[in-house]
Every structure is written in structure tokens, then in C-alpha cells.
Amino acid sequence: MTVDSNPPLVHHFEKLLRHPDEISTPKRHDCHQQNGIMMEECQLPLIDLIGLNSHDERERAASAKAMCRASSEWGFFQVVNHGISPELLRKMRKEQELLFKTPFERKATCGLLNNSYRWGTPTATCPKQFSWSEAFHIPLTKISDQSCYGEFTSLRLVMTEFAAAMSKLARLLARILAENLSQQGGMLDDICNESTCFLRLNRYPVCPISAEMFGLVPHTDSDFLTILYQDQVGGLQLMKDSKWVAVRPNPDALIVNIGDLFQAWSNDVYKSVEHKVMANGKMERYSVAYFLCPSYDSSIGSCTEPSTYRKFTFEEYRKQVQEDVKQTGHKVGLPRFLQVKNAQL
């Protein structure tokens, strides 16, 4: 008997349809089309981090300036020569694939990786709120905890090394972005710790339903910044100039995007941009994301005045985001209550 590793996504998606027979045989089309229209494919701004180690001050400044410009104009960029070895990235992908091939029932019930397994969208009330994916969302404090891994002992060793490398890179990028705003580069180091930073291991199974299915619904990230290691299948799209554009995968690069907290802290200099993942009808997709987050009691305030946002804690922000998701089924951007004009002063 064949044991299925896939979660029952079709079954749960059907429950969201008023007429389940509508799911029958929709015509699939190229992954870079949307509503029958060929979608623009973009190459994200490419930052070579080797310039940051140059003995030439002008070269170092140029690399930092390019990164900050991309954060302001795109909210996304990609980095090469980032210091994380190709061998470590290959090991991480191999271990990730082995983990997700575990039978679904075991993933869902055995408490792997701090009992962090999730699939689909439990809060979805309609098809457009449903994500065709499964994931493990692990706090950094649990990465090295041997009790979280069961028989996946080699996964623990690789994830520990991978998380440390991603954390180092994230803090380097955050320092550069902070210094560009004439702030001390270590300010974010002081409030971001392992208790609230996460690794998220994603798998997007083959979707037999429709090319319009979300692998991950449109959203912005609830952190300072995110670093993404993805395969070459594609599917990531972002909002640019009020339209969706598909991101062309680069096998040598990691993708970085600005989160809501950096937008608020930078007083809207850096942009937290809406993005999504589209499901694929022929190939499964893998990615790993690192989220740089502050401690829950950290006070987030804009680094310049006058400020667009009032001060708030990460815990307050998270609670409001969770409430928004319950009420609307999705989360995009900073909650309006954080804007100064709507705050109770």
C-alpha cells in the first residue's frame, strides 16, 4: 500500500466551494499567465555582497547604496556572494525533501520540529483565502533541541548550521539598512533574538485544480526582513507599480524582502511589498525562509520625525494581525490602527 505524504488539500478546498463539482477540470495554463494574460517576469535588483568587503570605500558604499535603493523602490532584492556555501544550501534542500516525504499522518501527529507542522489555511472561509502548501515554522530557540527531531538526526545538524548562517546574514543586512538611515547599526541586533526569529520550511505540492490557485495567499511579512532560499520552479510574484510581476529564479542568489516592521521603523523609507506564491500543476516547489523578528515586548517606533506610525510593541502588532486574519481571512500591510492619525493620542 502506498503511503501518501501529501496533506488532504483537495478535500479541504472542496469544502470551501459552494458547488464542489466546479472543481472538475479547469484548464491549466503557463505559470507566467494570469487570467489568460501573459504576466511580466522580472529580474530583482541584484546585489553582490562581495563589495561590502572591498578595501575600496567607494565600492563598499556603492553596494550598500544599491541595497537601500532596492529596499525603497522594490521592497525586494537578491544577493549573491552572501557567504552561505552552496554545499550547505544543497544539504538543506536534501534534508527538507526527506522531511516532507514523511507520511502525512506522521507529520501531523508526531510533534516534529516543536509540533510546528501546518498545511492549507485553517482560517479560510472561501477559496481565495486558501494556500496550497504545507510548512514547518520553527523558532530558532528550538533549532538545536534534539527532542524536536525524532529520527531526523541529520536534519538537526544541517538546520543548526543553516539557521546560524542565515541569522548572521540577516543581521548584516539589517545593520546596513539601519546605518543608511543614520542610525546605529546595532540597534536592531539589541531587540532581535532567537526567541522570536523563525525558520519556515515550505513545500508547495503539485496542484491539479487550477493555475489560479495560491500556493501562499497575498500578504506582507510581519518582521523586519526575510531571507528566502528557493528552488528553480518559480511561482513567487510581487506587486510592482500596482501590478503583479513574476520573479525569475536565480540559482546563485538568495532573495531578501522588507517586512512591515522595517517599513514602520524606517518611516516608510523602506517598503514592505505585497507578494504571493502561485501553485504549480506539474512540479512541486520548495523554499526555506528566515524571519528576523524582535522580542515581543520590544517597542517599535519610527527612527525619524514626524512619524507616520505611533510606537507599538511587536506583541501588540501580532495580536492585531491575528485579529485581522480572523475577520478578513488575510493580512496585507501594517494595521491602520498604528498610523498616527488613527491613534488615540
Q: Domain residues of the chain, as ranges?
A: 39-303
Q: How confident is the model at residue 3 (pLDDT cuts 50, 70, 90)?
A: low
Tens of pLDDT, residues 155-214: 999 999 999 999 999 999 999 999 999 888 778 888 898 889 999 999 999 999 877 899
Q: What is the dihedral of CA 212, 214, 215, 218, to 10 degrees?
A: 140
Q: What is the pTM of this model?
A: 0.92
Q: What is the mean pLDDT of the chain?
A: 89
pLDDT at 123: 85
- Size (the chain), residues: 345
- For residue 32, what are the contacts with CB-CB under 8 A and spacing of at least 6? 38, 39, 41, 234, 246
39-303: CATH topology? Jelly Rolls (2.60.120)
User: What DSSP letter does each residue of 12-61 carry, written as one string?
Assistant: HHHHT-SSGGGGS-PPP--TTEETTEEPPEE---EEEGGGGG-S-HHHHH
93 close to 275: Cβ distance less than 8 angstroms: no
pLDDT at 341: 57
Residue 289 pairs in a beta bridge with: 200, 228
- For residue 223, what are the contacts with CB-CB under 8 A and spacing of at least 6? 259, 260, 261, 291, 292, 293
Closest by CA position to 299, among listed 273, 342, 270, 264: 264
215 close to 135: Cβ distance less than 8 angstroms: no
